[in-house]
Every structure is written in C-alpha cells, then in structure tokens.
C-alpha cells in the first residue's frame, strides 16, 4: 500500500523513540522507503546505528554535515519526501515547529519543507496539558499539520493520561490514510460547529455552552474519509481540525453568510449551536451602568441556517443533516424538528446536565431519518463522528 512512498522520519528525543525502529520496519515492509533524521536528544534514546540498520539508509543528524550537503543539501532532503513524519514529536519539537525555529537539522527541515507533515506527539501528561503546548498544538493544526495520537495511558514516568505516543501500527495506519483515496474523495462537505456570539454592545455578548467538540470531530472524520471539508465555526473552545478549510464567524448572521458562500456542497452537517435570537439593536458603544436603572434587551429572531439550506429550491446539498439538542421527549421533539426544518437526517441527543454531554467527551445520539429513529450506544464524540461520516459516505455513494 505504501509501495514507492518516500517517508522522511524525524525522530525526536523522547522515551517513545524506542518505537522508531519498529515503525521503520513496518513502513519498509509495506514498500515505503524511510530516510531517518535523528535529533541530538533522540540519539540519547536510540542509536544512529540501530536506526540506519533498520532503515537501510544513513541517518541524518547534523545541520552542517559536509557529506550530506555535498550529496544532497538539507533543503532538498526536506523536499524529496512524499510525507514528513515526526515520531516522537516532543513538546520541544512542536514548540519549534509552531514558532518556526530552525536551530538544528530536524527543525530546519520542518521549516524548509513544503511536503505534508504528520506528527505523533509524545510527552509527559503535564507537558501535554500545559497551555504552551496546547497553544502550539492549535497553531500547528491551523498550519495544516496532521496528527496521530497521543493516546491516553500509563507513561514511562509513572503518570497516567494523554501523552503516550501512538503505537507504530497506528502511525502506519495514519500514514496509509494520508495516501489513500477515501469514500468521500471528490466530495465537498460543509460542517457548521461551535456556539455563536450575539453582541449586546462592543464588550458584551450572549453565548451558549457549546464547545464545538462534536462538530470538530465530524469535520475531522469527514476529512479522514477524503472529503474536502469547509468548516464554518463560531467561537469554539476546541481548536479546529487540521486539513480542512476553516471559516471563523461570530454571529448567526455571519454564519449564514459563510454557509451560503461555501455552497454548492454535496452534503452539509449543521452541528453548530446557533443562537435563536440576537439583541435587536446592539449598542455601538459600551452600555454604562447607571445606578438604579436596569437595561432592557429586546430580541430579534436569527435566521435559521439549517432550515434555509434545507428548503433551498435550487442548489440544495444532496444530504442535509441537522442536530437536535433536547432535554426532554428527545425523539418526539427531534422528529418534529426534522419535519419543520426539512432536513434529511437529524442527529438527536439529550443534553440534560446530568448526561454530561454538553462540554464532555462522550455523546449518546439517535439518528432520525426516513427509516425512523436509530439509537446509537453512548460513545466518544470521535466515534460518533466516525460513524456519522461513514453514513454520510454511504448516502453519497
Ligand atoms: N440551527 C441553525 N440555525 C439556527 C438555529 C439552529 O442552523 N438559527 C440548526 C442547528 O445547527 C441544529 C438544528 O438547527 O442543527 C437544531 O438546532 P436547535 O437549536 O436544537 O433547534 P431550534 O430550531 O433552535 O429549536 P429549539 O431551540 O426550540 O429546540
């Protein structure tokens, strides 16, 4: 499956570097060639001799290496690959990538390359959770860097949590997926996600609790199946996925405009928690507090984006999927909502606080279509997204 593919593998300095020889072996078994680059820290965990022996190629480890520069300059090295893989991608390497630092061979190659890059992060859970790493991660994602893992589990340092590097076979699967045409290749899909912010005045707004996690997972899952994804997102608290076209908006009206600009599409999934109302006459200047006088807000109805697209006479997407977040009589309300808005499917869920779904990592949904109501077991939002993406692919096939 990877026959003839050239992988430039950058091995960073983490305990997970011990998995690099296995990763190289498995890539070569599948027909790929692997050019290894070992950072100085990486060489503390795995020797150049081991790496070059399994790769069947010499290891590159110095920026100013006369032999390499004479044979193939480092710029060329970074461009001659079909894919650059960073495994393990340490917190340090990710920080360098996010900042565009180039003070050793690995970081210079990453800055000089125009080849797609896939990273497999690996670090201690506190380093992973640190705001600096999360900031860097968001930057890398918006730069279009693809990522596999990290997994949650126990670590070499004795702690437990996210930060363990994906296993070699998981990394191989991500690499294969990168090179494989999926069932949605050639299809253009729109996804709305996140909350909207409706201004009261220049500093205040009305919002809701949507994190954007489910919509983000759906966009990622659709892209993983090969779709060209336009991701229209309100101010979400999770970073947008990599490898999709991100359009950031604030209000429902802006979201509608962005959605209309993205059409035509083959399918549209409306996962955003759009505010039903906006403040009718938002103040252009900050409303001052006047002792004893309470402001009154008048509301106006926002456009219903899902209904607008579902009811388009011409150019309607082939498949329109809405969401229904309910707190009671879920199926009845969602079925009525599907009728009223005119969409093809409704993904309904119970968002009562007790379920922990709003802002949580899991979801329990019911898919309502012409075929009736199909209850899915409670699972991670990523798993819901993967299953929904498969169904979208099936419907568009
Ligand atoms: N939706 C939309 N535009 C709006 C409101 C909702 O596109 N102005 C979409 C959402 O993205 C979701 C679906 O409509 O896919 C259902 O949203 P929901 O808020 O549950 O529906 P409402 O029509 O607002 O019904 P209610 O709040 O009364 O339950």
- Residues 250-275 pLDDT 10s: 999 999 999 999 999 999 999 999 99
Structural tokens at position 360: 């949580």
**Average per-residue pLDDT in the chain?**
92
Residues with CB under 6 A from ligand 1: 192, 252, 270, 272, 274, 276, 302, 304-306, 322-325, 337
CA distances from 206 to 223, 279, 299 (A): 31, 8, 11
**Cα–Cα distance between 48 and 36 in angstroms, integer?**
9
Atom of ligand 1 lying closest to residue 333 CA? 29
pLDDT category of residue 68 using cuts at 50, 70 and 90: low
Instruction: Name the token pair of 196.
Output: 């909207």
Question: Which tens digit of pLDDT belongs to each residue from 175-196?
Answer: 998 888 889 988 999 999 999 9
Counting from 1 in the atom list of ligand 1, the atom nearest the Cα of 252 is 8
- Set out the domains of the chain in order of their start, with CATH numbers: 6-179 (3.40.50.1950), 188-396 (3.40.50.10300)
- How far is it, in rounded angstroms, from Cα 162 to Cα 128? 7
Please tell me the residue having the least CA distance from ligand 1 atom 18.
Answer: 324
Dist. CA 304 → ligand 1 center (Å): 7
Give the bridge partners for 324, in sequence order. Answer: 348
Q: Which residues are catalytic?
A: 157
The answer to whether the beta carbons of residues 236 and 183 sit under 8 Å apart is no
pLDDT tens for 360-385 read 888 999 999 999 999 999 999 989 99
Give the Cα separation of 56 and 153 in Å (integer). 32
At 64, the pLDDT band (50, 70, 90 cuts) reads low
Give me ligand 1 centre to Cα 130, in Å: 35
| Nearest atom of ligand 1 to the alpha carbon of 276 | 8
Angle at 140 between CA 159 and CA 268, to 5 degrees: 105
* Rounded Cα–Cα distance for residues 393 and 397 (Å): 6
> In a mutational test of the pocket of ligand 1, which residue from 233, 276, 278, 325 has the highest number of ligand atoms less than 8 Å from its CB?
276
Rounded CA separation 345/318 (Å): 12
| Percentage of the chain modeled with pLDDT above 70 | 97
Q: Which DSSP symbol is given to 293?
A: B
Residue nearest to atom 9 of ligand 1 (CA): 306
> What does the block give as tokens for 253?
């009206």
Neighbours of 99 (CB within 10 A): 12
Ligand 1 atom closest to Cα of residue 346: 15
- 274 Cα: distance to centroid of ligand 1 (angstroms): 6
**Residue 72, CA distances (Å) to 80, 110, 270, 300 in order:** 10, 16, 49, 64
Mean pLDDT confidence for 60-75: 69
pLDDT value of position 306? 98
pLDDT (0 to 100) of residue 95: 98
What is the whole-number distance in angstroms between the Cα of residue 225 and the centre of ligand 1? 27
Query: Given this model, what pLDDT does residue 264 score?
Result: 95
Q: Are the CB atoms for 298 and 322 separated by under 8 Å? A: no
Phi, psi of 317 (to 5 degrees): -60, 150
Q: Whose CA is nearest to atom 21 of ligand 1?
A: 324
Residue nearest to atom 4 of ligand 1 (CA): 304
Which of 193, 258, 268, 270 is the best mutation target for the ligand 1 pocket, counting ligand atoms within 8 Å of the beta carbon and taking the most?
270
Q: Tens of pLDDT along 4-53?
A: 999 999 999 999 999 999 999 999 999 999 999 999 999 999 999 999 99
């Amino acid at each position: 499956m990877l026959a003839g593919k050239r992988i430039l593998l950058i091995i960073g300095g983490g305990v997970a570097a011990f998995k690099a020889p296995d990763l190289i072996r498995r890539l070569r078994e599948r027909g790929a060639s692997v050019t290894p680059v070992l950072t100085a820290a990486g060489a503390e965990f795995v020797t150049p001799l081991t790496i070059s022996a399994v790769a069947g190629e010499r290891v590159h480890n110095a920026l100013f290496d006369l032999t390499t520069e004479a044979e193939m300059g480092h710029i060329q090295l970074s461009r001659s690959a079909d894919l650059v893989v960073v495994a393990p991608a340490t917190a340090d390497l990710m920080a360098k990538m996010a900042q565009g630092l180039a003070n050793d061979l690995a970081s210079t190659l990453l800055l000089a390359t125009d080849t797609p890059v896939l990273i497999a992060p690996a670090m201690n859970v506190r380093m992973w959770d640190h705001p600096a790493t999360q900031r860097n991660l968001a930057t890398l994602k918006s730069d279009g860097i693809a990522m596999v893992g990290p997994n949650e589990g126990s670590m070499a340092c004795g702690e437990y949590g996210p930060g363990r590097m994906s296993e070699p076979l998981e990394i191989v699967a991500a690499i294969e997926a990168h090179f494989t045409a999926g069932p949605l290749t050639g299809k253009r899909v729109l996804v709305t996600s996140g909350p909207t912010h409706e201004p009261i005045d220049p500093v205040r707004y009305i919002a809701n609790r949507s994190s954007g996690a489910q919509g983000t997972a759906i966009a990622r899952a659709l892209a993983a199946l090969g779709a060209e994804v336009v991701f229209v997102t309100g101010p979400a608290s999770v970073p947008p996925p990599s490898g999709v076209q991100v359009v950031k908006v604030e209000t429902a009206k802006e979201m509608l405009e962005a959605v209309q600009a993205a059409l035509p599409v083959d399918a549209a999934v409306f996962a955003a928690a759009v505010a039903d109302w906006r403040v009718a006459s938002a103040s252009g200047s900050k409303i001052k507090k006047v002792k004893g006088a309470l402001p009154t807000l008048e509301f106006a109805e926002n456009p219903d984006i899902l209904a607008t697209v579902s009811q388009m006479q011409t150019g309607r997407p082939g498949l329109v999927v809405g969401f229904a977040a309910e707190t009671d009589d879920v199926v009845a309300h969602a079925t009525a909502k599907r009728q009223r808005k005119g969409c093809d499917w409704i993904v309904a869920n119970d968002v009562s606080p007790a379920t922990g779904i709003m802002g949580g990592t899991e979801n329990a949904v019911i898919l309502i279509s012409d075929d009736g109501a199909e209850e899915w077991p409670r699972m991670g939002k990523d798993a819901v997204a993967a299953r929904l993406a498969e169904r979208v692919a099936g419907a568009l096939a």
